[in-house]
Amino acid sequence: MIRILFFLVPVFILGFAFAWLADRPGDLTMTFGGYQMQVSLLVAAILITAVVAAAMILWWLVKSIVTSPHAISRHFRNRRRDRGYEALSMGMIAAGAGDPALARRKKKEALKLLSSDREPLVHLLDAQASLLEGDHPGARQKFEAMLDKPEMKLLGLRGLYLEAERVGDRQAARHYAERAVETAPQLAWASGAALEEKSEAGEWDAALRLVDTQKSTQQIDRETAERRKAVLLTAKATELLDAEPVQAKNAALEAHRLAPDLVPAAIVAAKALFRLDDLRKGAKILEAGWKRNAHPEIADAYVNARLGDSTLDRLTRAKKLQALKQNNPESALTVARAALAAGDYKLARAQAEAAIRQEPREGAYLLLADIEEAETGDQGRVRQWLGKAVRAPRDPVWIADGYVSDRWAPLSPVTGRLDAFEWRAPVERLGQVIEAGDEALAITPTLPAPIEHDEHRSSKPVVAAEPEHVEDIIVEEPMKTAPETAKPAKSEAAPAAPAPAAEPVAKVEPEPVVEQKPAEKLAEKPAAKPEPARPVAANDAKAPATVTPLAAKPAATDTTAEAPIDAELIEEDEKRLAKMPLPDDPGVEDGEKPVAESRFRLF
């Protein structure tokens, strides 16, 4: 529409000019070579316009004839380029779709139609096709060839970085990333990898400069930049704490200002202040951190602020921490540990039990075991607390990418990621305990079986029948000995039955301790009150060995009628019980040793 308007406007102006000349009569006289020519103004204007138009047309024709070979070659060259770009586009689409055959075919077509020196995308398509075909060495060679061309250097570094990451060579990957950062610091992948490389090498100042670059180029937001700087400053302060406490204090205080919730920053800052004899300021930092997050490492640094203090002074500081954050399990455990070190077992036990009521976990039960051993020395109760500690949820620890550490670190030892450690409880052991409990419940026996002395016997059924209280572990009743079991027992369910004719019934003694009950009653109360094996000390020689009565063919028990007692079977059982060998320890029953080993594996 605009082109038509531009065409009509000159035509309109030209027509208006001719109309204006036609309305105004006049003559144009020209004398040339003795001749005089006279025409009107309108005719003269038309002749002049025609001559100009003819000259322009003639010039166009001459120019077209002269430039026609170049125009023809340019036409075919443009057509070839268009076909090459089309093949290149189809090849890139095939490479992105994962079709190596089509990508390789289009790459060859693009190389024929386009010049590889002028079109860098051809090299990229060639490298991508090699990667799709699994030719990783060839792809690396193509990426290395890109480094010689300035416009393709970053592309080659990116490809080499990804290949190094694929084979797990983190050092080579970070090397390529560092080279890319030197050329283009705004690249997020390069600056992130270079930051990890600088941090792993301990170049904290260079890493801090990279974080500033990331923030200035808007790769990360302000909060993320402050968090990373706090982590790097904390790592720097930790490294300088012993040699240069003043610089460590400055770095740690700056880290604490940037990230007040970062526990290691507060601890390092306080320790640096303690080394500089600024106990008051360091204590204030720890108290503020304790109010924000009751962390055991903060409590340990606060309680042991001065090495020369007595245990009572440390207990006083622990109570002060508890006053700052009451009704907290960590506060109670802090006081319990300090009280145990000071010898106040009553306070230690009360605080540990209070912590268990608030949050039962492994550390509280282990602390109770220490208190029990220090106060009473009762190994039975110690084993009780240790058994509960095994089944309790684990305490929080520093975890990064599945790696459990006893102290904080700025980088993950698995992936090298910055600020990867988190303070939380591991979850894998909880699943193992639940799984073990379900398995134990599934294989709990319903009928008592004879106990055999075998050290390699599986102890899984014992885990399910494990008592919950110490009263279930230590049997207070006197154990029945072999002479007691040999006495005739009064059986209500088995009246006198006619004996074989070969021997009078009056001379037959009933089976010891075996009460003939139907199988249904035995199945109803499989674990009503089984006598668990009590732990017997090795020097307890007075405790006689318990002889477990053998059930006389429980599978053949009739639930409707009572079977007569076979005197011959009774005599055989008595002889076998009398000849049964006892274990090495005269105070331990057969089968008790696997029970104790399976329950208290912390020893």
Q: Name the pLDDT band for 453 (thresholds 50, 70, 90).
A: very low
CA distance 535 to 542: 14
Contacts of 260 (CB under 8 A, 6+ apart): 266, 288, 289, 292
Nearest of 255, 209, 259, 250 to residue 234 by alpha carbon: 255
Lowest mean pLDDT among 92-101, 441-450, 494-503: 441-450
| pLDDT surpassing 60 at residue 349 | yes
Chain centroid to CA 388: how far? 27
| pLDDT surpassing 90 at residue 165 | no
Nearest of 166, 172, 116 to residue 139 by alpha carbon: 166
Residue 301 φ/ψ, nearest 5 degrees: -65, -35
When pLDDT is averaged across residues 241-247 and rounded to a whole number, the result is 92
Would you call 57 exposed, middle or buried from its count of C-beta atoms within 10 A (0-12, 13-18, 19+)?
Answer: exposed
- On whether the CB atoms of residues 452 and 441 are closer than 8 A, the answer is no
| pLDDT surpassing 80 at residue 118 | no
DSSP letter assigned to residue 151: G
Per DSSP, the three-state class of 28 is strand
CA separation (Å) from 30 to 25, 37, 38, 203?
17, 5, 6, 95
Chain centroid to CA 200: how far? 20
What b/e sequence results for 299-325 when a residue is b if at least 16 CB atoms lie within 10 Å of its CB, and e otherwise?
bebbbebeeeeeeeebbebbbebbeeb
H or E element at residue 579: none
Say how many residues make up the chain: 603
185-193 long-range CB contacts below 8 Å, 24 or more apart? Answer: 185/213, 185/217, 186/217, 186/219, 187/154, 188/214, 188/219, 189/158, 189/161, 190/157, 190/161, 191/217, 191/219, 193/161
CA distance 130 to 139: 5
- On whether the CB atoms of residues 364 and 333 are closer than 8 A, the answer is yes
H or E element at residue 12: helix 2-22
Per DSSP, the three-state class of 378 is coil
Q: Name the pLDDT band for 569 (thresholds 50, 70, 90).
A: low
Q: Name the pLDDT band for 577 (thresholds 50, 70, 90).
A: low
Nearest of 388, 399, 396 to residue 599 by alpha carbon: 388
- As a whole-number percent, the residues of the chain with pLDDT over 70 amount to 70
Q: Name the pLDDT band for 428 (thresholds 50, 70, 90).
A: low
- What is the token pair recorded at 252? 């740690």
Lowest mean pLDDT among 61-65, 393-397, 588-592: 588-592
| pLDDT surpassing 60 at residue 437 | no
Q: What is the pLDDT of residues 301-320, one digit of tens each?
A: 999 998 888 999 999 999 99
DSSP letter assigned to residue 18: H
DSSP letter assigned to residue 152: G
Q: Which residue has the higher pLDDT, 174 or 410?
A: 410
Quote the Cα angle for 456-459-461, to 5°: 140
Q: Which residue has the higher pLDDT, 121 or 63?
A: 63
The amino acid at 361: R
pLDDT for residue 328: 93
Chain centroid to CA 552: how far? 57
Q: Name the pLDDT band for 510 (thresholds 50, 70, 90).
A: very low
| pLDDT surpassing 50 at residue 460 | no
Lowest mean pLDDT among 127-141, 224-238, 268-282, 335-349: 127-141
CA distance 361 to 348: 16
Would you call 124 exposed, middle or buried from its count of C-beta atoms within 10 A (0-12, 13-18, 19+)?
Answer: buried
| pLDDT surpassing 60 at residue 224 | yes
The pairing of strands 403-405 and 422-424 is: unpaired
Quote the Cα angle for 266-272-277, to 5°: 120
Question: How far does the chain reach from its first CA to its final CA, in angstroms?
Answer: 95
CA distance 481 to 587: 11
Average pLDDT, the chain: 75
H or E element at residue 422: strand 422-424
Q: Which residue has the higher pLDDT, 24 or 83?
A: 83
| pLDDT surpassing 70 at residue 530 | no
Q: What is the pLDDT of residues 70-97, one digit of tens each?
A: 888 888 888 888 888 888 888 888 888 8
Most confident of 45-59, 255-269, 551-565: 255-269
From the CB of residue 503, how many other CB atoms can be counted at a distance below 10 Å? 11
Would you call 518 exposed, middle or buried from its count of C-beta atoms within 10 A (0-12, 13-18, 19+)?
Answer: middle
- On whether the CB atoms of residues 261 and 293 are closer than 8 A, the answer is yes
Q: What is the pLDDT of residues 32-45, one digit of tens each?
A: 777 877 888 778 78
Contacts of 145 (CB under 8 A, 6+ apart): 123, 156
Nearest of 111, 433, 419 to residue 264 by alpha carbon: 419
| pLDDT surpassing 60 at residue 545 | no
Residue 557 φ/ψ, nearest 5 degrees: -70, 130
- What is the token pair recorded at 243? 């040699």
CA separation (Å) from 61 to 56, 67, 69, 72?
9, 10, 14, 16
The amino acid at 415: T
CA distance 314 to 2: 91
DSSP letter assigned to residue 580: P
